[in-house]
């Protein structure tokens, strides 16, 4: 087949290392026909690495970024649970149109920072009174519309949310999240699947918000009927109180109890998993399941540090997510993850494996593989014939980059670069961001500003 488009790069990263002076031939759908190294071109772009996968997002929470850091003098200590109350207040005020506006701005920013896919952990389902919309996936459809406007890929994961805690009824502030039964949830899931047909870059997943957010029978039924035909996402073991409550209710820690309900495998994405004992750590790693680590949000909320180095030694799978979106730079997420581990281990080899001492390449590879799995996508190769071409391109003229050999490029990106060193982001063979902006950036920003002013939550 004749190429419909040719893209030229000074370098293209593969799992095995760098290809230099590369031409990528694409068909009319943006899929790779050929990858041809050693072809110099006067207008070649910089160094292309695989687009980052954002494996955990709550889009609506972007509207409250920076609002939970004001603490009254003499007030009681602030923690995750007080932050959650502020988040609930925001969730009650957002209309479908406002959600679309917030998500469009967020997804534009994700693209600008190098994310090409997002797994949207979605539980803002109903109207402000808690009643289902006539289209059960009205809010989910708005997220898909936002993804379509910007061009990011989205895996929409509607969450089952039923209870207000272990054995507790839901609270009034949780009313927009709720499915009364697994049957109601399955109807929501069906509506979500239908909504994804409106955008070729959309797919769906399945999941439980958390063990505390579902009755025992409902959780068991959803786990029993899960066909493993799509990614399964769940918050698990994020907070110490959650573990204490789970143990008091089930007589077991969260991972221990959940792993008895399902046969964990690579389809499962356990978000945070911050507080694990030795047995739980081995259970997750041994099963092939994935942990989704959200370093900037976990740091912001004071969650704690995941036992990453021990998990790595067990060859555990992991990806990154931006969760509440107090940070949106994938390179920064990886740095925070690394440096947190260095501070408690007093060692600098966080991402090193027995096979490779290239920290940057290892981090990019491992986060990409599990991130792709979180989207329900293949993980064979960064750039493969027949697959869509999704990439973030680093500027070859940035001083630290242009002076580095290919041996040091991935580490230069990971440990020294920021968004100003990114030439742009490509999805499906098309530049979605170039020189820092999307084509519709001004309109997206104006709509977003109007939305926030209308909400009035930032005054």
Q: 90 and 37: one domain?
A: no
Average pLDDT, the chain: 95
- Residue 396 counted as domain residue: yes
Q: 61 and 37: one domain?
A: no
- Residue 455 counted as domain residue: no
Q: 26 and 56: one domain?
A: no
- Residue 432 counted as domain residue: yes
Q: How many domains does the chain have?
A: 2
Q: 136 and 285: one domain?
A: yes
CATH number, position 270:
3.20.20.140
Q: 131 and 267: one domain?
A: yes
Q: Taking 90 as the threshold, does the pLDDT of residue 311 lie above it?
A: yes
Can you give the pLDDT at residue 227?
A: 94
Contacts of 343 (CB under 8 A, 6+ apart): none
Spatial separation of the C-alpha atoms in residues 317 and 110, rounded to whole Å? 23
Q: 140 and 255: one domain?
A: yes
Q: 330 and 238: one domain?
A: yes
Of 56, 272, 275, 325, the catalytic one is: 272
Can you give the pLDDT at residue 86?
A: 79
Q: 246 and 182: one domain?
A: yes
0.75 surpassed by pTM: yes
Q: Which residue, among 398, 400, 375, has the nearest Cα to 388 in the 3D structure?
A: 375
Q: 215 and 344: one domain?
A: yes
Q: 170 and 254: one domain?
A: yes
Of 25, 245, 303, 323, the catalytic one is: 323
Structural domain of 408: 5-50+390-441
Can you give the pLDDT at residue 79?
A: 66
Q: 273 and 150: one domain?
A: yes
Q: 117 and 200: one domain?
A: yes
Pick the last residue of a domain from 320, 343, 375: 375
Q: Let me know if 323 is a catalytic residue.
A: yes
15-24, 82-91, 189-198: which range is least confident on average? 82-91
- Strand pairing category for 17-26 and 206-208: unpaired
Residue 402, helix vs strand vs coil: helix
Q: Taking 70 as the threshold, does the pLDDT of residue 74 lie above it?
A: no
Q: Record the tokens describing residue 282, joined without a space.
A: 């081995």
Q: What is the average per-residue pLDDT within 119-148?
A: 98
- Residue 458 counted as domain residue: no
- Please state, in angstroms and as integers, the Cα–Cα distance from residue 347 to each residue in 313, 314, 339, 342, 352, following that order: 14, 18, 10, 5, 11
Residue 398, helix vs strand vs coil: coil
- Residue 454 counted as domain residue: no
Q: Let me know if 25 is a catalytic residue.
A: no
Question: Which segments of 64-131 are extended strands (E)?
Answer: 115-122
- Residue 380 counted as domain residue: no
Provide the pLDDT confidence category of residue 50 given band limits of 50, 70 and 90: very high
């Amino acid at each position: 087949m004749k190429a419909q488009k040719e893209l030229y790069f000074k370098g293209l990263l593969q799992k095995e290392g760098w290809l230099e002076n590369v031409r990528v031939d694409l068909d009319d759908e943006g899929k790779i026909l050929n990858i041809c190294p050693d072809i110099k071109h006067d207008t070649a772009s910089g160094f292309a690495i695989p687009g980052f996968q954002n494996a955990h997002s709550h889009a609506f929470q972007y509207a409250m970024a920076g609002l939970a850091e004001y603490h009254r003098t003499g007030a009681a200590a602030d923690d995750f649970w007080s932050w959650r109350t502020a988040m609930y207040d925001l969730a009650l005020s957002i209309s479908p149109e406002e959600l679309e506006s917030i998500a469009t701005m967020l997804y534009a920013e994700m693209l600008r920072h190098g994310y090409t896919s997002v797994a949207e952990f979605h539980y803002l389902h109903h109207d402000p009174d808690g009643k289902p919309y006539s289209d059960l996936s009205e809010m989910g459809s708005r997220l898909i519309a936002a993804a379509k406007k910007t061009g990011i890929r989205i895996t929409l994961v509607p969450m089952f949310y039923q209870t207000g805690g272990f054995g507790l009824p839901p609270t009034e502030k949780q009313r927009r999240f709720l499915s009364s039964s697994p049957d109601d949830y399955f109807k929501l899931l069906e509506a979500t699947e239908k909504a994804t047909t409106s955008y070729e870059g959309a797919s769906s997943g399945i999941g439980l918000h958390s063990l505390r957010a579902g009755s025992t029978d409902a959780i068991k039924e959803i786990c029993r009927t899960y066909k493993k035909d799509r990614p399964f996402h769940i918050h698990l073991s994020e907070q110490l109180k959650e573990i204490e409550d789970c143990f008091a209710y089930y007589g077991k820690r969260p991972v221990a109890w959940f792993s008895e309900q399902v046969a964990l495998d690579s389809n499962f994405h356990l978000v945070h998993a911050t507080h694990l004992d030795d047995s739980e750590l081995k259970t997750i790693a041994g099963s092939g399941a994935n942990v989704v680590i959200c370093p900037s949000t976990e740091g912001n909320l004071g969650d704690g540090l995941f036992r990453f180095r021990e998990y790595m030694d067990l060859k555990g799978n992991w990806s990154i997510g931006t969760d509440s979106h107090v940070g949106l730079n994938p390179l920064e997420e990886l740095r925070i993850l690394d440096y947190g581990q260095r501070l408690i281990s007093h060692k600098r080899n966080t991402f090193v494996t027995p096979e490779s001492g290239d920290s940057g390449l290892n981090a990019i590879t491992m986060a990409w593989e599990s991130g792709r799995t979180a989207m329900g996508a293949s993980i064979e190769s960064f750039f493969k014939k027949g697959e869509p071409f999704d990439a973030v391109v680093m500027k070859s003229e940035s001083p630290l980059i242009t002076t580095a050999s290919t041996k040091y490029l991935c580490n230069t990106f990971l440990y020294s670069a920021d968004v100003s060193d990114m030439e742009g982001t490509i999805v499906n063979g098309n530049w979605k961001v170039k020189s820092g902006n999307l084509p519709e950036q001004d309109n997206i920003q104006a709509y977003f500003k109007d939305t926030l002013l209308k909400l009035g939550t930032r005054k």
